[in-house]
Amino acid sequence: MTNSDARQQALALFAAFKFEPTSLVSYQSAGKLLALGDESQLQQFTALASVEVESIAVKPGAVQIQGYLGAYVVEVSDKQGNPQTHRGDAIVDLSTTPLLGREMLPPGYFHAPTGAADSAELMTELESLRGEFQKPRYFDYDASICAHSVNGRVVCTKCIDACPAEAIQSLAERIEVDPFLCQGGGSCTTVCPSGAIRYLYPNLRDNGKRLRNVLQCYAEQGGQNAIVFFHGESYAPEPYLDAYDNLLPIAVEELASIGMDMCLSALAYGAMQVVLYVDDAVPASSASNLREQLDWAQELIIALGLERDCISICSADGALAEIESKQVVTAAESDMPVEKRRAIFQALDHLVTRLKPDVDRVELPASAPFGEAIIDAQKCTLCMACVSACPGKALQDGSNRELPEVFFNESNCLQCGACVQTCPEDAISLAPRLLFEREARIRSRALNSDTPFACITCGKPFAPTSVIAKMQEKLKDHYMFSSERALERLKMCEDCRVVDVMQDPEGMGGQFDPQNRFRQ
């Protein structure tokens, strides 16, 4: 059987795959249309419209637009400068440049500049905007592993910055996604370092299972050297199908949802090459995020011994990058996990096992969400502020081992910088990398430790020795510690310190007797 025949069988399986259903988001629209533009644009449009229209004369920069299908609010100022509020179910923006500056416009917002406003297709769509409309809820969010904000400090805004629909905002210690504005662009899930926000429809496990089934079917039918070709649903890949008989087109609703997890898993499931096709339907910011993901993935596969172009991007029907070595690993059979980082590590572990690279790690570009934290033992006081701040639980308090220690689990490190921002001693730095050996990656190791300091009065260990030394050095010139006794008090535990203050003639006048403290 030829590659073309094998492809036909595999794509039939692709088309028949059923995704796990998700909940729905509902819009209610009465069909009232708000038309925005200058006087001449409005006159021309309303003369053609066959729906209820409220015309609103606006100027760029003097209008505020909020909402979505069924719930739009437009605020403009009249000639006297008084704000006027208009409410409607949909918007037709007749301006040359959209008044709403988003790469992905919300449902019910139509940009129809001169020449497009009188199209029969637009009029038909506007006439249909009455009733209830539904779409899938595309995302899921786990605030417990989100690195957005820690201890009042904003640490990560990657999903907010990446969202082309501007559907995500900061909400104190967490983020909030507006399900009515979210259109499943996918960039947020791709850039999220922890996987706190993930694509729900289709979920990662289903996407991976479909991909594995297609590659498995292709191989079983005699197909060789499969090229997985991810593209948006609006693109027709016929030019590539004609040019490459080993190309397997994988249509996805939003290309920006395809990150390292899917690309590496495609190689682990037996693809020779992975290509992402970026066309004009992909927002510019999403394309930039995809290229960053590929930078990381390419560094990784080079270290594994594969060619850089085993994962690549193409556009404008350009020729695919040539792969000299037709190296295909024995296909993995396991399901892809729902969690993004687990999916990446699972694919990596399979590739490492099959390819047996000469190195045990790869250094990654800055901003990659994998790597190590490095602690300068000369600066660190083991205050554990970094431990409490770490959203991925990569930094851990080892004091329950009877020694003041900070432990580190590299597989959990997001390289988010929360520890760097939190450390009062400026003792922590980050180094993006990825360890190939699984055991080394998941094993906790000590980054810094110290001997416990025993209270000079009662002998109870109560703090790291380095903390006591640094406190004495920093406070020796403070007026509250001008006496030798006051300075020595820093070497006492909390209870003994209170007693000593009470007994110190220069402190509480020496009137406190701990033996008589309950006597009248």
DSSP conformation letters of 263-307: HHHHHHTT-SEEEEE--TTS-HHHHHHHHHHHHHHHHHHHHHT--
133-143 pLDDT, tens per residue? Answer: 999 999 999 99
- How far apart, in whole angstroms, are the C-alpha atoms of residue 241 and residue 243? 6
For the chain, what is the domain count? 5
Q: Residue 364 falls within a domain, yes or no?
A: no
DSSP 283: -
| DSSP one-letter code for 490 | G
User: Is the sign of the CA dihedral 477, 482, 484, 489 positive or negative?
Assistant: negative
Q: Do 228 and 341 sit in the same domain of this protein?
A: yes
Domain containing residue 79: CATH number = 3.50.50
> What separation in angstroms does the CA of 62 have from each of 15, 37, 76, 82, 90?
48, 12, 6, 12, 19
Q: Are residues 228 and 337 in the same domain?
A: yes
Q: What is the pLDDT of residues 242-274, one digit of tens each?
A: 999 999 999 999 999 999 999 999 999 999 999
Please answer whether residues 144 and 159 qualify as being in contact, where contact means their C-beta atoms are separated by less than 8 angstroms.
no
96 and 82 share a domain?
A: yes
In this structure, what token pair is assigned to residue 515? 């033996």
Q: How confident is the model at residue 512 (pLDDT cuts 50, 70, 90)?
A: very low
Tokens standing for 197?
Answer: 């926000």
Does pLDDT of 437 surpass 90? yes
Alpha carbon distance 369, 365 (integer Å): 10
Residue 484 clears pLDDT 90, i.e. is over it: no
Of the candidates 199, 217, 247, which is a domain's last residue? 199
**CATH code (residue 160):** 3.30.70.20
Tell me phi and psi for residue 272, to 5 degrees: -80, -30
Domain containing 417 equals 371-449
What are the beta bridge partners of residue 168? 177
Nearest Cα to Cα of residue 89 among 25, 133, 23, 138 = 133
Mark which of 151, 173, 199 sits at the end of a domain: 199
| Mean of all residue pLDDT scores within the chain | 91
Contact 311, 274 (CB under 8 A): yes
Tens of pLDDT along 225-241?
Answer: 999 999 999 999 999 99
Q: Are residues 130 and 147 in the same domain?
A: no
Among 324, 358, 392, give the residue marking a domain's end: 358
Q: Tell me if 226 is assigned to some domain.
A: yes
| 220 and 241 part of one domain | yes
Distance between CA atoms of 276 and 175, rounded to whole angstroms?
A: 29
CB 10 within 8 A of CB 224: no
Predicted local distance difference test score (pLDDT) of residue 48: 74
Average pLDDT (60-84) is: 90
Using alpha carbons, select from 182, 202, 207 the residue that is nearest to residue 263. 207
Q: Bridge partners of 448?
A: 406
Q: What was the pLDDT predicted at 519?
A: 45
Structure tokens given for 416: 């988010």
